[in-house]
Structure 1
Amino acid sequence: MIKNKIDAIKQELEHVLYLNLDEFRLEAERDEVLSRFIGLRLRSEFQPIFDTGRSEGLLGYEALLRPSTGIEAVTPGFAFSVADSEGKLVKLDRVARTLHMLNYLTLPEQRGLLFLNVHPKLLVSVTTHGKVFEHILHQHSVPTRQVVIEINESQVDADGALLEAIDNYRDRGYRIALDDFGSQHSNLNRLWKLSPDFVKLDLTIIKQAQRDTKLRRALPKLIDVIHALGAQTIIEGIENEIQLDIALDAGAKLLQGYYLGRPAAAGHWGQQSKPFHDNVLMPGAPHHFGSFSVPAQCGM
C-alpha cells in the first residue's frame, strides 16, 4: 500500500512539476517510508505535542529527521552539513519534507498539526523550493494551515530577512513557530516583530526552573507576556514529573518532552487506537493526555 503511494506520487510530481525523484530513492519498509540520499539512510520520527485544553489531548506532532549510515545513527546536523558540502542542501530539505509528509499521512485521523523544522540557510535564501511538498499537501487535501513551520530564530541574525521569510510562509497559509526561544538573539521586541503563532521555549528553561526558584516564579509571567503578544507557548524538554508539574503550575497548556512521549515512527502512534478523550492529570498517578498514558515514575 505504501509502495503504491510512493509510485503514485513520483508519477504525479514528474507529470505536474517535471521532477524526477529517483535520486531521492524513496522506499517502503514495513509500515513507513524511508529514503537513501547522500549516502545516508533517512527516516522520519514523530514526537507528540500535547494540549491539556483539548478533549482529545493532542495538538500535533513534530517531525524529526533520523539519518544513519546504515551502521550507526548520525545527527541531522551532520546530514545537512554533508548535503551542503555537496551542493544538495535544497534537495535534502525537499527529501526530508516529502518523507515527513508521506509518513505523517499514515498517522491516525486525529493527527493534529504537523511541525516541520526549516534549515536557517534555506529560510533566508530560498522562497520557492517548497513546491514538491505543497503539491503532496494539496493532493491529499491537507491544508497548509495544518502545517507549522518551526524557525530557530537564534540562528538568523538579520531581522529583515527573517521577517520576509516568515511573511512568505504565512502568505501561503502556514503557521509559524519560533523554536528555542530564550537563547542568544531572543528578545520580546523581536518576538513582537515576528508575531508567530507558537513560541517554543528553549529546553534549558524548564531544566533551570527545576533548580532555580526565581525562574520558576517568573515562568508564569513569561508565558503571560507571550500570550499577550498573540502567541501560544509550548514548553519543550519536559523530562520528569517535577518539570511537568512546574510547567502546569506556570499555566502552560502545550507540552512536549521525553517524559510525555519519545519520538517514534508513525506506525507506533498508529497503534494508539483509543480516542483522545481522557484529559485528567492526577498527582502521583499516571498522567493522561487523551489516550496517551505516561507512567508517573519513568515516562515513555
Structure 2
Amino acid sequence: MTHKVQTEPDYIARLRAELKQALSLDLDELGLIEADSGEYESTFIGVHLKTAFQPIYDTKQGEIYGYEALIRPSLFGTLGSTPEFAFTYAEQAGKLVQFDRVCRSQHVLNFRAIHQENGLLFLNVHPKLLIEVNAHGKVFEQILHKYSVPTERVVLEIKESLVEQDKQLLPAIENYRALGYRLWAAHHDFIKFDISVIHQAAQQPALASALRGLVHSVQDLGSTPVIVGIETQQQLDIAVAAGANVLQGNFLAEPVVAKVLNDQYRNNGRVPRVA
C-alpha cells in the first residue's frame, strides 16, 4: 500500500517566497495555506491565524465605507485565543515584529479577495511597533504595493492616549502619514468613539443629547467620527440622530471571512446595504 505525499501547490510556494523577500525575515516556520474557503490562513510560532473583516458602513450613502481586519488566533490549531494574548505570546517569544508583519500581510492577501475595488482597510497597530517606521512601516508598504493596495486605502488605528504617554511616537506617526497612510484616532483623520460611548448614550438620555455636540465638534476639526459597538436598533438610531454617518457594530454586520462577504455580494448583486 502506497501513500500519496501532499506537496505544496506551486502558487503557494511562490507566494511564500514573495512574502519571505518582502518581509525580510525567515519564513520557514510560516505555514501558509489556502483554506477550502479560498482564503489564506497561516501558522506562525505555533499560533494559527485567520482573518475576519467587519464592515464599517456609511449610513448616509447606505453602503460599506471600509472593513476592519481582525485576527482570529488559536494556539496550536486547537485552543481558541484572543489577539491580545497572541501578541503577548509573540512578544515573549521575541517575535513581535515578525508576528505583526505576518498578521498584516495575511490581512492584505485576504482583503484582495473581497470583491470591492474601493473602500478602506482599517488595521490595528501594536503601539510598540510604531517606532519601527523606517523598517517595519516600509516593509509593510512594500507588501501593499506588491499586492496592489495603495497606502491611501489603509487606515491605521493608533490610540490617542498612547501618543500622549509616549511623545517619541509623534515622529513615527508623521512618517506613516508621509508614506500615505491615513490614521484612525490620531491626528484627526478619523476619530473613533469608544464602544462605551454608544452603550452609555442608550442608557442616559442626557449623554445621547450631548453626543450630537461631540460628533459636530469632530466634524468641525475636519475629521470623520466613527461610532463603533452598535448592537441594537436604539443605539443605531442614537448614532444617526447625532449626525454620525460612519458606523460599525454587530447590529449592522458581524465580523466574517471574505468568502461570506463575497457570497453576499453574489447573492445580492451588490455590497450589503444598511437602511
TM-score under structure 2 normalisation?
0.88
Residue 230 of structure 1 aligns to which amino acid in structure 2?
G
Q: Structure 1 residues 16 and 124, CA, compared in 2 at 3 Å: closer, same or farther?
A: closer
- Mapped to 2, the partners of 1:292 and 1:245 lie a distance apart of 16
- Mapped to 1, the partners of 2:199 and 2:19 lie a distance apart of 45
2:13 match:
7
Matches within 5 A, 1:17-166: 19-30=25-36, 31-54=38-61, 57-69=63-75, 70-110=77-117, 112-158=119-165, 160-166=167-173
Q: Secondary structure at the match of 2:231?
A: coil
Q: Is the 8 A contact 2:120 2:153 kept in 1?
A: yes
1:286 match:
none
- Mapped to 1, the partners of 2:54 and 2:40 lie a distance apart of 17
Q: Is the 8 A contact 2:198 2:239 kept in 1?
A: yes
Q: Is the 8 A contact 1:46 1:263 kept in 2?
A: yes
- Mapped to 1, the partners of 2:163 and 2:257 lie a distance apart of 30
Residue 100 of structure 1 aligns to which amino acid in structure 2?
H
- Mapped to 2, the partners of 1:275 and 1:199 lie a distance apart of 32
Q: Is the 8 A contact 1:38 1:82 kept in 2?
A: no
Q: Is the 8 A contact 1:101 1:133 kept in 2?
A: no
- Mapped to 2, the partners of 1:16 and 1:205 lie a distance apart of 40
- Mapped to 2, the partners of 1:147 and 1:113 lie a distance apart of 6
Q: Is the 8 A contact 1:10 1:20 kept in 2?
A: no
Instruction: Say which is worse superposed, 124-133 or 194-203, in terms of deviation.
Output: 124-133
Q: Would you say 1:207 and 2:199 are equivalent positions?
A: yes
- Mapped to 2, the partners of 1:212 and 1:42 lie a distance apart of 39
- Mapped to 2, the partners of 1:94 and 1:195 lie a distance apart of 24
- Mapped to 2, the partners of 1:259 and 1:73 lie a distance apart of 24
Q: Identity of aligned pairs, percent?
A: 47
Question: Could you give the per-residue CA deviations for residues 143-163 of structure 1, whole angstroms, max 9, x where no partner exists?
Answer: 110111111223444353232
Q: Structure 1 residues 112 and 77, CA, compared in 2 at 3 Å: closer, same or farther?
A: same
Larger helix share, 1 or 2 = 2
- Mapped to 2, the partners of 1:169 and 1:75 lie a distance apart of 27
Q: Would you say 1:271 and 2:263 are equivalent positions?
A: yes
Q: Is the 8 A contact 1:13 1:20 kept in 2?
A: no
- Mapped to 1, the partners of 2:209 and 2:193 lie a distance apart of 16
* Cα distance, 1:38 vs structure 2: 1.9
Structure 2: 5+ residue runs without aligned partners? 1-7
Q: Structure 1 residues 236 and 15, CA, compared in 2 at 3 Å: closer, same or farther?
A: closer
Question: Could you give the per-residue CA deviations for residues 96-127 of structure 1, whole angstroms, max 9, x where no partner exists?
Answer: 00110111110013451100100011123554
Q: Would you say 1:221 and 2:202 are equivalent positions?
A: no
Q: Structure 1 residues 27 and 195, CA, compared in 2 at 3 Å: closer, same or farther?
A: same
Q: Is the 8 A contact 1:238 1:244 kept in 2?
A: yes
Q: Secondary structure at the match of 1:79?
A: helix
- Mapped to 1, the partners of 2:135 and 2:46 lie a distance apart of 26
Residue 27 of structure 1 aligns to which amino acid in structure 2?
I
TM-score under structure 1 normalisation?
0.81
1:198 match:
190
* Cα distance, 1:13 vs structure 2: 4.3
- Mapped to 2, the partners of 1:10 and 1:221 lie a distance apart of 50
Q: Structure 1 residues 22 and 272, CA, compared in 2 at 3 Å: closer, same or farther?
A: same
* Cα distance, 1:27 vs structure 2: 1.4
Structure 1: 5+ residue runs without aligned partners? 179-193, 277-289, 295-300
Q: Structure 1 residues 8 and 292, CA, compared in 2 at 3 Å: closer, same or farther?
A: farther
Q: How many residues align?
A: 264
- Mapped to 2, the partners of 1:72 and 1:16 lie a distance apart of 30
